[in-house]
Amino acid sequence: MYDYLVVGSGLYGAVFAHEAKKAGKSVIVIDKRSNIAGNVYTEKVEGINVHKYGAHIFHTNNTEVWNYITQFATFNRFTNSPVANYKGELYSMPFNMYTFNKMWGVVTPEEAAAKIEEQKKEINHEPTNLEEQAISLVGRDIYEKLVKGYTEKQWGRDCKELPAFIINRLPVRLSFDNNYFNALYQGIPVGGYTKMVENLLEGIEVRLNCDYIDKKKEYNALAEKVVYTGAIDAFFDYSLGNLEYRSVRFENELLDKPNFQGNVAVNYTDRETPWTRILEHKWFEFGKDENGNDLPKTYISREYSSEWKPGDEPYYPVNDKKNCELYKKYRELADKEGKIIFGGRLGEYRYYDMDAVIASALDMSEKELE
Ligand code: FAD
């Protein structure tokens, strides 16, 4: 009998398993997928570490988490600076002086601020929908070219039909700083996230292609306690109904050329282009392999917003009233399961950045393994 069965080899499960082993506990990890690492899984294609479940950029202000995770990987100096493509016009993101110079030809921060202020005046009442809200924050030009189409594709609805509260802020930088994340630490693990998770799981028994839900009783009998990082509603056989998610879909292509767009992410901000953005994975590692050689091919993923239905890959939890209340009811059931600890993005039905999920797993480990 093991001390712990960990269901799921994503970051939450892998961090807990590592800590349990370190504390002298016996631990086994199972995952229903045929690979470890959950949604941070990277797969090597023609020397390129492909982010199979979407672009993953590690960024944190939490020094403790940074010191912890860098034991398992060396991080490169990658900085996220997305580009927007509006009908062939390229703009720097997030909105900054490069963006304003391209949009209006303005040169100084004062000129940019004056232009934005002038355009914001168009809305002289409390915004009643997302369109009015966005114009009241950044003015019509930026809204029309950089916000409208992208947001409509993401939500599948016209901005005039979307509530104003969806956008609270649209940060405007009156500087030439196009580093998307305001984080103290940022980067991509050299060699890919899968290798980093492999290092976390070193010396731990891992069984892949094992769905816990199929044989719950059998698996529970393996260990004193279970750390479950799968979906909380699936654990209870959806007895109270399905929790909903927002989804994304990727169309992948390996191209026989070295450079497609020169950047990891290009957002397509017009309404007509069906995808929201294109990722070019090699630029997470500056187009080079581990030995510093240029890679001859490139791998791209067109990303589409898509409606989620039961059975699809769950990506983002929907934090509306209906789903929050349903989660609360599942949580009450979960609290009665003495032997099972629910954790991670699916077990807790919440969006976690990687640093937050690591912090959460470390926190739980400390309480559980003391
Ligand atoms: P997961 O990685 O989902 O792991 C759960 C594991 O449990 C999976 O391997 C799954 O197969 C397994 N499992 C589920 N059910 C069962 C079962 N019944 N039996 C056996 N195994 C099971 N964070 C950042 O910090 N930066 C980013 O740039 C970033 N980009 C993101 C982009 C997208 C599109 C998404 C959706 C998320 C992004 N994140 C990002 C968040 C990041 O993906 C999560 O923080 C992280 O993956 C959460 O880890 P986890 O272990 O909780 O869940």
Question: Per residue in 135-163, pLDDT tens?
Answer: 999 999 999 999 999 999 998 899 999 99
Tens-place pLDDT, residues 200-237: 999 999 999 999 999 999 999 999 999 999 999 999 99
Give the whole-angstrom CA distance, residue 161 versus residue 313.
27
Cα–ligand 1 centroid distance for 312 (angstroms): 14
Give the whole-angstrom CA distance, residue 248 versus residue 367.
35
The structure tokens listed for 139 are 């003015």
Q: What is the pTM of this model?
A: 0.96
Cα–ligand 1 centroid distance for 38 (angstroms): 5
Q: Quick one: which atom of ligand 1 is closest to the CA of 8? A: 7
Give the whole-angstrom CA distance, residue 348 versus residue 131.
33
Give the whole-angstrom CA distance, residue 164 versus residue 277.
24
Tens-place pLDDT, residues 239-259: 999 999 988 999 999 999 999
Give the whole-angstrom CA distance, residue 152 versus residue 125.
23
How many structural domains are present in the chain? 3
| Nearest of 168, 229, 187, 222 to residue 37 by alpha carbon | 229
Residue 171 in any domain: the answer is no
In the predicted structure, residue 55 carries a pLDDT above the cut 90: yes
**Do 16 and 106 belong to one domain?**
no
**Do 356 and 241 belong to one domain?**
yes
Q: Are strands 265-268 and 58-60 parallel, antiparallel or unpaired?
A: unpaired
Query: Is residue 57 helix, strand or coil?
Result: coil
**Do 44 and 110 belong to one domain?**
no
Tell the residue nearest (CA) to atom 14 of ligand 1.
230
- Given 19, 277, 299, 348, the catalytic residue: 277
Residue 145 in any domain: the answer is yes
Judge contact between 45 and 254, C-beta under 8 A: yes
Q: Fill in the DSSP letter of residue 264.
A: S
| Nearest of 137, 344, 126, 150 to residue 234 by alpha carbon | 344
Is 173 considered catalytic here? yes
Judge contact between 80 and 186, C-beta under 8 A: yes
Cα–ligand 1 centroid distance for 352 (angstroms): 9
- Given 140, 246, 302, 350, the catalytic residue: 246
Q: Which residues pair with 75 in a beta bridge?
A: 189
Give the whole-angstrom CA distance, residue 329 versus residue 320.
15
Give the N- to C-terminal CA distance of the chain in Å, as an integer. Answer: 20
Ligand 1 pocket at CB < 6 A? 7-13, 30-33, 38-40, 54-58, 211-213, 229-230, 248, 315-316, 344-346, 352-355, 357
- Amino acid identity for residue 183 in this structure: A
Give the whole-angstrom CA distance, residue 107 versus residue 316.
39
Q: Which residue has the tokens 């397509």?
A: 268
Tell the residue nearest (CA) to atom 27 of ligand 1.
56
**Do 200 and 220 belong to one domain?**
yes
> Quick one: pLDDT at residue 309?
87
| Nearest of 199, 197, 191 to residue 289 by alpha carbon | 191
**Do 161 and 87 belong to one domain?**
yes
| Nearest of 197, 225, 226 to residue 213 by alpha carbon | 226
- Given 19, 131, 143, 173, the catalytic residue: 173
Which domain-ending residue is among 137, 166, 195? Answer: 166
Residue 213 in any domain: the answer is yes
Structural domain boundaries, residue 277: 253-307
Tens-place pLDDT, residues 80-128: 999 999 999 999 999 999 999 999 999 999 999 999 999 999 999 999 9
pLDDT band at 178 (very low <50, low <70, confident <90, very high): very high
Which domain-ending residue is among 166, 200, 222? Answer: 166
pLDDT band at 306 (very low <50, low <70, confident <90, very high): confident
Residue 271 in any domain: the answer is yes
**Do 196 and 323 belong to one domain?**
yes
Element (H, E) at 18: helix 11-22
Name 282's Cβ contacts closer than 8 Å, sequence gap at least 6. Answer: 48, 295, 298, 299
Q: Fill in the DSSP letter of residue 144.
A: I
> Quick one: pLDDT at residue 310?
84
- Phi-psi label, residue 213: left if phi above 0, alpha if psi -120 to 50, beta otherwise: alpha
**Do 68 and 210 belong to one domain?**
yes
Counts for the chain of helices (H) and strands (E), in that order: 13, 16
- Tell me what the mean pLDDT of segment 340-348 comes to: 98
Give the whole-angstrom CA distance, residue 207 versus residue 40.
18
Is 246 considered catalytic here? yes
In the predicted structure, residue 370 carries a pLDDT above the cut 90: no
**Do 113 and 208 belong to one domain?**
no
Encode 279-315: b = buried (16+ Cβ within 10 Å), e = exposed.
bbbbbbbebeeeeeeebeebbbbbbbbeebeeeeebb
**Do 240 and 262 belong to one domain?**
no
**In this structure, what CATH number is given to the domain that contains residue 206?**
3.40.50.720
